[in-house]
Amino acid sequence: MNLLVDIGNTRLKWVLQHSDKMDSFGAVVHNQDDFSAALISAWQLLSVPDGIYFACVGSIELKQLLITIIEQLWPNCPIQEIHTKKYSHGLSNAYLNPEKLGVDRWLVMLGAFEHYPAPLCVVDLGTAITLDVIDEQGQHLGGMIMPGLTLLKQSLSKGTADLNFCSEMHKQGLANYTQAAIYNGCLCAVKGFVEAGLRQTTKTSRLILTGGDAEFLADTLRLDAVVDAELIFKGMALLSSGQSES
């Protein structure tokens, strides 16, 4: 049994990987004051893992804190950080410097390419929104990045004097009050971003959505998409299972 850990921009998420399934999903927001205590409290309930695999797009300090907590809870447990590669499991990285591609994007693509028929347009809807396109041969064609839905709305409140941040949902369409106008403008920006990504290939790509806002945006924007919340862990499981890289 392995513990798979994803340190994202906002949350630290984990899952237990058994030989044929994943369970015990959990998450903790890592910018909260009691982050360490909350994580230790949750992990004390887990069985001792055989190994721990983690991917991190957070700070070096956060990564070191994770390692310290692991060594405190399970002193003899092997720890391995996952990094982006040029090629793995049939997927080729398009980046000129492969290691510069965020490991979260790499893992999401690996999970998608392993479990869904290509060509694929893979969109991770989290704090940031990333979009990557993969052709039938497993060649990553490149991608795009934009602020996530919450960041889009926050940017207006921080950059203007009279527009306050609001997390409420509103009726879609042309609005007759400012909060709804902001809400709909941000939704349209996300939808246009996804549609632009889908237009980058000559063949119709299957749209795969993951990340914290995936379910909401798939429903709200009426996107013809597969929503897979476990995609990053499916990519991690592929690498941690010891399967061949070819």
Residues belonging to the active site: 104
Are the C-beta atoms of residues 91 and 129 closer than 8 Å to each other? no
User: What whole-number distance in Å separates Cα of residue 150 and Cα of residue 167?
Assistant: 8
User: What whole-number distance in Å separates Cα of residue 105 and Cα of residue 210?
Assistant: 11
CA atoms within 13 A on the CB side of 44: 7
User: What whole-number distance in Å separates Cα of residue 213 and Cα of residue 186?
Assistant: 13
User: What whole-number distance in Å separates Cα of residue 14 and Cα of residue 6?
Assistant: 6
For the chain, the first-to-last Cα distance in angstroms comes to: 24
